[in-house]
Structure 1
Amino acid sequence: MDISKIIFRTILAVVVLGGFFVVGLYSGHHRNGLHQLVYGTFDQTRLVIKELPNLTKSRPIHFLRKARYDGEGVTVNAGPDKTDEYLLLSGFFKDHNGVRLIERDGTIVHEWNVSIFDTVGDPSFCRNPPATEWNAIPHGTIIEPDGTITLGFESCGMIKLDRCSAPVWAQTELITHHSPNFMSNGDIVIAGGEFVPDGPNVQWPYDDEYWEDLIFVFSPDGTLKKSKRMTDLYIENDYQAILTATGKFATWINGEFHLNEVEELSPELAPAFPMFEAGDLLLSIRNRNMIMVVDAEMETIKWHQIGPWIRQHDPDFQPDGTITLYDNNTDETNPGRRSGGSRIYRVDPTTGETEIVYGGTPETHFYSRERATHQMQPDGSVLVTEAQGGRVFQVDSAGEIIWEWVNRYDEDNVTWMHDASILPKSFFEVSDWSCS
């Protein structure tokens, strides 16, 4: 080829690319339509490439984590022979989201298949509509004596499935998130979300569109009974100083509060909490490192405490008048200063005094940056769901591991465990768990 043609084509290519570069700089500076088109196309292409393992169902990338523990399934079963108990496990099992009822030796008694497309149908109403089942994250499972389960999909809808995984109802009108809980009258309380677009509905202290967190109470058939916006709750209780404590009025991308748990104080436990009343609600506000108790009408904040936990989950009222919670402790980069790993905390709301029930030492290390649950047992042991560690374990009152489940995916990885609980077999009225 003529060398002059090579030089000409090279110069032409440089000029064209340079022109695109200059146009890109100009459009990027002015944020015009061309910029949006180019960068929007780039982002979409990058997203599709990233999501290919999910779209092709070759690898559940959103649920995978590097394994920190050996074995698969039940790896420790050293506690007392409690043949009168079941464990309810919710997680991503190999290739699907599911809920399992198992014996302590790992024998599966029953399994529910949890599918967002089979239950809510079109998930376009979700905050981040999932493209596949592998993009949908269940969060929190509660069960009834007849084997009916209720759970929520993260920032999407809440569903109820019968014993054979058939939908009973799906709540698709409102966005719910995190764990539902039964109330003493059979209602269901859960956190929710609502997008507030820029305009007249934006209220102080926000100056732009934002995601609001809400408390929702639903009847047993999935009908909304009442709700409360967290911003209103703060302002009505003169908590403006805490509401604006971030020092800026532009809200967090995931919401100012990230309300991740609402639990009712039952009539049975109320006598242990003289400063509260039956029906009061315990809230966990992750982005504020705060837990609080409000009255049943969701009008008055009766108590709150910030820390020492960091980005906590799953606070529970306890029979001894204390509150326990899962401290995610995302400051794991400073193990010397923060002891490293997650912890189970106990706080006395009358004094504010706290203690670590389990974790915080090299010998008791466990960690889940997000999510995770715990359940205190009558004998002083505690069941812990190390969600992103793909592990559920139980430690006795002396801190010894007496039961462990590892949700193995392959040689190097585990998949998430969403939550777990221990239930007495006498709780159930089901004698035959089979389904046609």
Structure 2
Amino acid sequence: MHNSDRLGFAMFFMAIVLLAFIGGAYIVLAKVFPYDYLNNAYQAGKALLVQRSIDDPYTETDLWRRARTDERGVTINDSEQAYQGYTLYTSGDGTYAQLVDMKGDVAHRWELPFSEVWQETPSGKTPRPDDLMYWRKARMLPNGDLVAIYIAANDSPWGYGMVKVDRDSKLLWSYKAHVHHDLDIAEDGRIATLTHDFTDEKIEKFPQLPSPWLNDYLVELDGESGDELSKTSLLHAFFDSSYAGILYATPHFGVADPMHTNSVEYLEQAQADAFAPAEGKAGQVILSFRHPGAIALVDPESSRMNWAIRGPWMGQHYARVLENGNFTLFDNLANYEKGNRSRVLEVNPQSNAIVRYYIGDDEHPFDSGLRGAAETLPNGNRLITESDGGRLFEVTPAGDIVWEFINPVRGGDKDQFIPVVSSAQRIAPEQLGADFRAVIDTTRRTSS
């Protein structure tokens, strides 16, 4: 090839590169075809790179936190004021749940690795290793059966599915979907939960949505079979209601996950009668939407959003309706005090007034930026899950801590990390079936 030919070829090549650069820049800036395909591929590649580059699960995932104390197990136990029973909890170090007594002794344990149920994620991808998963939420039935949600670290969508196991951890059914955050079991056995999936759907009323974005769904399952009974798109429920404007409060950092729905609870008839926004209709579900800071009622039968509200909370989780007509929230961030950012609120839905709250103090700091829950017990106390602290505790209406349990598991070269905890459930012995009570008693006698 002559020198003039080489020069001509080089100039031709540079011209092609320049045109490709200009064309690529125009596609990216103008977001015209095939921008969506290129962007999706880029985002997927970036997510895969992050997902596969975990060297230290203690500092590079949200399943562990730096331990705030050397104490482990039960540290406070006021037998006169605490609601007596067993406490179920899950831990960020694995796909298991444990039932402990008031002294913190393990009465029963359930465990089922993801790899023994499925070989792929609901999206058909290679799942995270079993040691990077845990049960985000678990609920125990009186006979010892357990329903649990699998969550994986550093993946999106990050919910991996739901299972029901018996008291021996044998699989009864599985529901393969991107189930996340929460579940509730109605008195008739139906299960309400949340799923999400990426979509490229364009929403004219919400042009800020990127492509792709995560849509959340309210799903009902049959408790005996795990079959899907209904599925409601929550973004469409918002925009088909008179509360659509609430979504425009979604912060810019969360627009790809515009709702970040994080809790569900069925309203039984007594709750529906007391809770004014429900207007006496049982079967509706109260939900918490973290990013727009909203609480709402959705009827899975009609897929309609019948009520929604925003209030003086931030990053909230775990909306629960009380039979006095109020609702409670785990308010993760709105207290702003160093070491005591979190609060548990009781809110009047008609006035939006906070009628009761719990905050920490210097002796017992209270701070969980992520997750968190609060269950109101039959005696009026509240069982609080401080997830980031790896801590469960029970407080009286006056704010006195009468029971406290700190996750005994530690990790790291100096035991400086503690797994997060979530989904605490207090069960009185008389609520359990006789056969399961006998198993618990036998297990405890054998281990003692």
TM-score (norm 1): 0.80
Q: CA–CA distance in 1 between the matches of 2:91 and 2:406? A: 11
Q: CA–CA distance in 1 between the matches of 2:355 and 2:66? A: 30
Are 2:212 and 1:209 equivalent residues in the alignment? yes
Q: Which amino acid aligns with 1:375?
A: E
Deviations 1:175-224 (A, max 9, x none): 21111111232110011112213xxx433224632111111011111111
Kept in 2, the 8 Å contact 1:280–1:296? The answer is yes
- Dislocated runs of 4+, deviation >6 Å: 36-46
Deviations 1:128-177 (A, max 9, x none): 853211222322111111100001123221111110111111111x3211
Are 2:130 and 1:133 equivalent residues in the alignment? yes
Q: CA–CA distance in 2 between the matches of 1:340 and 1:363? A: 11
Bigger mean CA deviation after superposition, 364-373 or 209-218: 364-373
Kept in 2, the 8 Å contact 1:86–1:102? The answer is yes
Q: CA–CA distance in 1 between the matches of 2:246 and 2:82? A: 46
Q: CA–CA distance in 1 between the matches of 2:62 and 2:403? A: 27
Kept in 2, the 8 Å contact 1:326–1:372? The answer is yes
Residue 270 (structure 2) aligns with: 268
Kept in 1, the 8 Å contact 2:149–2:179? The answer is yes
Residue 347 (structure 1) aligns with: 347
Amino-acid identity (%): 24
Bigger mean CA deviation after superposition, 183-192 or 268-277: 268-277
Match of 2:282 among 235, 254, 278: 278
Query: How many positions carry a matched residue from both structures?
Result: 397
> What SS class does the counterpart of residue 186 from structure 1 fall into?
coil
Q: CA–CA distance in 2 between the matches of 1:360 and 1:175? A: 34
Q: CA–CA distance in 1 between the matches of 2:364 and 2:124? A: 37
Are 2:229 and 1:222 equivalent residues in the alignment? no
Q: CA–CA distance in 2 between the matches of 1:378 and 1:180? A: 20
Q: CA–CA distance in 1 between the matches of 2:371 and 2:46? A: 31
Bigger mean CA deviation after superposition, 72-81 or 138-147: 72-81
Q: CA–CA distance in 1 between the matches of 2:254 and 2:169? A: 38
Bigger mean CA deviation after superposition, 77-86 or 183-192: 77-86
Q: CA–CA distance in 2 between the matches of 1:348 and 1:399? A: 19
Once the two structures are TM-superposed, the CA of residue 270 in structure 1 deviates from its matched residue by 2.9
TM-score (norm 2): 0.78
Once the two structures are TM-superposed, the CA of residue 82 in structure 1 deviates from its matched residue by 6.4
Once the two structures are TM-superposed, the CA of residue 355 in structure 1 deviates from its matched residue by 3.5
Cα-Cα RMSD: 3.6
Residue 67 (structure 2) aligns with: 67
Unaligned runs of 5+ in 2: 1-16, 29-34, 152-158, 444-448
Once the two structures are TM-superposed, the CA of residue 70 in structure 1 deviates from its matched residue by 3.5
Q: CA–CA distance in 2 between the matches of 1:286 and 1:83? A: 30
1:175-190 paired onto structure 2 within 5 Å? 175-190=178-193
Once the two structures are TM-superposed, the CA of residue 38 in structure 1 deviates from its matched residue by 12
1:27-426 paired onto structure 2 within 5 Å? 48=52, 50-53=53-56, 62-80=62-80, 85-92=85-92, 96-119=94-117, 121-126=118-123, 130-154=127-151, 155-172=159-176, 174-197=177-200, 201-204=201-204, 205-206=206-207, 208-220=211-223, 221-246=225-250, 252-253=255-256, 255-276=257-278, 277-329=281-333, 334-335=336-337, 340-359=340-359, 361-362=361-362, 365-408=365-408, 409-410=410-411, 411-426=415-430
Distance 1:356 1:281, change over 3 A: same
Once the two structures are TM-superposed, the CA of residue 376 in structure 1 deviates from its matched residue by 1.2
Distance 1:108 1:381, change over 3 A: same
Q: Which amino acid aligns with 2:263?
A: E
Q: CA–CA distance in 2 between the matches of 1:351 and 1:260? A: 24
